[in-house]
Structure 1
Amino acid sequence: MNHNDHDSTDSRVDRRRFLAAASATGIAASAGCISSLTGDDDDSGGELGLIGSGMDGRPAPGGTPMADMPDLSGTLTLYSGRGEPLVNTLLGYIEDQYEDFTVDTRYEASTTLANQIETAGNASEADVFFSVNAGALGLLADAGLTVTLPDDIQEHVPSQYRADGGAWVGTSGRARTIPYNTDELSESDVPDDIMAVPDADFAGDMGWAPSYGSFQGFLTAMRVMSGREETKQWLEAMLDAGVTRYSDEFIVSRAVANGELSAGFANHYYIQRVLANDEDAPLATAFTQNDAGAIFNVAGACVVSSTDDEDLATNFVRHLLSAEAQEYFATRTFEYPLIPEVEPVGDLPPVDELATPDFDLAQLSDIGPTIDLMREVGIQV
């Protein structure tokens, strides 16, 4: 699976875009029944925040509505590596569309669930595995524990965001970024080469979350692309500079906005969540170019080979690519939708304007050597 072929586009604008401050203080319904998915009933205890910038005048989403998809009937066992606060509203909405359909969801870390499915093999209770990252999906695909998805499902999503052969398909995406404090830094201060960041004047005033899965995925991409030794040197240089550890990347982004840090490492949507709650926060986002710091990872789903109702499981995955579900991911979780008919929220560059590297996302499943390397340099994970 080739990750991204868009880097040859001559008309690409500068990748180091900035996210505009969020202007929305409430939620405007996009269209029809989708309003019940993107309302302001935040079930995350406040962590998600309000819907971000770009909601004013947002067009109705394109794509295929659930009403035009096959009906769902029966009980589906979903192993979800996506957290309950992020997806339970969407799952409840899908259930409500069908009188005889129920989702029995087991929430756990994606890697934990993938390991459980692999251990159980044909005895697994899972019908569908819904992962926060491509790496965990790759683990099951490599083990031969997935069902090939129909062509019409695969074709909903650009080829770089699904597995070769149809073992899994991406449902939403996230870009790696460098959030920075605009009171402390300007655009020209932030390197567009991830390997140059430890040498930046502000490197000692940065934050990271090394226990966070997306950070470990970014390091895995660096190790695969640049080699173990160069990645080790990068980690040691960041530690020598004095980078500060945080528990997650939302906290990193908030610390940047609060002036505790000058910059950090985070997925793009955490910046949007901070700005959604404080449109005047001195926070902007830089993208590196064509390197591990510009990895675009996807959440996604696969049908598990142990399912006893392949049609139901397949049609459920199809629903995750519906107009309603893609609008939900854009406006509720601030992720990139993966069907071209639905736009991302906020002043974000389109996916095809990100300078992402040509990288097989399935390689992110090789995380063990990355964890070993982190521990070797003294990072507790």
Structure 2
Amino acid sequence: MRIPLSVVAIVAGVTVIALAGCTQAAEPVATGEATSDGAFTLYSGRDEALIQPLIDQFEEQSGISVEVRYGNTAELGALLLEEGDATPAQVFLAQDAGALGALANADLFATLPAETTDAVPAGFTSTDDTWVGVTGRARVIAYDSEALSAADVPTSVDAFTDPAWAGKFGIAPTNASFQAFVTAYRVLNGEEAADEWVAAVAANSPVIFDNNRAILAAVNDGVIEAGLINHYYWFALASETGEENMRAQLAYPEAGDAGSIVNVAGAGLLAGAAEDADALEFIDYLVGAEAQQYFVDETFEYPLIDGIDAPAGLPELDSLVNPDLDLADLDTLEDTQALLGKHGLI
């Protein structure tokens, strides 16, 4: 069963593949001689329902007006590549580190001030200060607790290549978080192993969805037995319906498995906005205590700064981090998209 793929997402994937041909140039560096006109433009790969309340809060407190263009991360990344230096965007808020790294490789970002990137621990932000991590999100397996016991749920994503799972699990191949996960699989296990995994999964008749939320809904309704998602979708739905009413439950792949990764949402400052004080103030706000608490309370993601507790019920962040994975290595999205396309998943 296949839910139709978005044409825009496919175009986005093709455009990002063009990164391989981009030439390298020196990135602008914020010198501290910033100027303000009281407004900036944000491209947000995060959902409007999640982010707009935080933007409203920032506008009220700062007096800065934010013009927002919403879309999925792949779509907006492709648009930024197309617009190049002519983009009206000053800030890109992305769903995952892979998209940010790919755009950094295309020299679309300015280098952020050290005081901005230093707010977030190494390992959850860029290694070259081109973007900063904002929140952490764990990859998990959502499963139908009426069809499976906890002991029945795989501890490794490799299990989904078993014919016993044919037609029973869901994935979202055009979604940025799934593509980042496959990129991590390639980095951790090698290209040959990743090719074999994607080929086997594709041959196992997975149910294809456009996003994590749709996968979770299908599990919760008993349509499929399991699906690969980010953790916070479950917590958001449980907050609406009550945990006691959740048929879907979560399992965390074993530490070290390619399925057990902690990715980040993050923000980059576009090269043409290197000295834009308003854009810089917004990025600093995202890694400040108020916004970090907002993400905990409203989106159920892991905060990335000291002094803010993670949402109740989540494992310790350190227990999920794969020490062999550097998020900076998730920047080869074009190779992942080519791999998924090779096996007919996008």
Q: Normalization by structure 2: what TM-score?
A: 0.81
Cα offset, 1:267, TM superposition: 0.8
Question: Which residue is equivalent to 1:247?
Answer: 210
Unaligned runs of 5+ residues in structure 1 are: 1-71
Cα offset, 1:356, TM superposition: 2.4
Cα offset, 1:180, TM superposition: 1.1
Report the residue type matching 1:142 in the other structure: N
Cα offset, 1:121, TM superposition: 4.1
Cα offset, 1:211, TM superposition: 2.1
8 Å CA contact 2:171–2:206 kept in 1: the answer is yes
Q: 1:373 to 1:181 in 2, by over 3 A?
A: same
CA distance in 2, matches of 1:355, 1:128: 27
Report the residue type matching 1:371 in the other structure: Q
Q: 1:113 to 1:237 in 2, by over 3 A?
A: closer
Q: 1:152 to 1:274 in 2, by over 3 A?
A: same
Of 297, 301, 304, the match for 1:331: 297
Bigger helix share: 2
Question: Which residue is equivalent to 1:18?
Answer: none
Any residues of structure 2 matched to 1:1-381 within 5 Å, and which? 74-99=38-63, 101-199=64-162, 201-202=164-165, 204-276=167-239, 277-280=241-244, 281-288=246-253, 289-307=255-273, 309-379=275-345, 381=346
Q: Does the residue aligned with 2:101 lie in a helix, a strand or coil?
A: helix
Q: Normalization by structure 1: what TM-score?
A: 0.74
CA distance in 1, matches of 2:39, 2:191: 45
Per-residue CA deviation, residues 42-65 of structure 1 (Å, 9 max, x unaligned), is xxxxxxxxxxxxxxxxxxxxxxxx
Per-residue CA deviation, residues 154-209 of structure 1 (Å, 9 max, x unaligned), is 22111101111211101112111111122222232223222233238445421222
8 Å CA contact 2:45–2:73 kept in 1: the answer is yes
CA distance in 1, matches of 2:72, 2:110: 22
Q: 1:171 to 1:135 in 2, by over 3 A?
A: same
User: How many residues are paired up?
Assistant: 310
Report the residue type matching 2:43 in the other structure: Y
Cα offset, 1:131, TM superposition: 1.3
Cα offset, 1:243, TM superposition: 2.3
Cα offset, 1:302, TM superposition: 1.6
Q: 1:375 to 1:182 in 2, by over 3 A?
A: same
After TM superposition, the structure 1 stretch with the greater mean CA deviation from structure 2, 83-92 or 241-250, is 241-250
Per-residue CA deviation, residues 88-147 of structure 1 (Å, 9 max, x unaligned), is 111111001134x21112223333433444444444322222111112221232233322
CA distance in 2, matches of 1:145, 1:239: 34
CA distance in 1, matches of 2:185, 2:243: 33
CA distance in 1, matches of 2:84, 2:340: 31
CA distance in 2, matches of 1:265, 1:163: 25
8 Å CA contact 2:74–2:176 kept in 1: the answer is no
8 Å CA contact 2:202–2:344 kept in 1: the answer is no
Q: Does the residue aligned with 1:97 lie in a helix, a strand or coil?
A: helix
After TM superposition, the structure 1 stretch with the greater mean CA deviation from structure 2, 282-291 or 199-208, is 199-208
8 Å CA contact 1:172–1:298 kept in 2: the answer is yes
Q: 1:376 to 1:143 in 2, by over 3 A?
A: closer
Percent of counterpart pairs with the same letter?
Answer: 38
After TM superposition, the structure 1 stretch with the greater mean CA deviation from structure 2, 303-312 or 335-344, is 303-312
Q: Does the residue aligned with 1:265 lie in a helix, a strand or coil?
A: strand
Report the residue type matching 1:74 in the other structure: G
CA RMSD, Structure 1 to Structure 2 (Å): 2.4
8 Å CA contact 2:136–2:262 kept in 1: the answer is yes
CA distance in 2, matches of 1:218, 1:97: 36
Cα offset, 1:369, TM superposition: 2.2
8 Å CA contact 2:187–2:325 kept in 1: the answer is no
Unaligned runs of 5+ residues in structure 2 are: 1-35
After TM superposition, the structure 1 stretch with the greater mean CA deviation from structure 2, 160-169 or 221-230, is 221-230
8 Å CA contact 1:125–1:307 kept in 2: the answer is no
Per-residue CA deviation, residues 271-297 of structure 1 (Å, 9 max, x unaligned), is 212322242223221111213211211
CA distance in 1, matches of 2:171, 2:79: 29
Q: 1:242 to 1:353 in 2, by over 3 A?
A: same
Q: 1:225 to 1:191 in 2, by over 3 A?
A: same
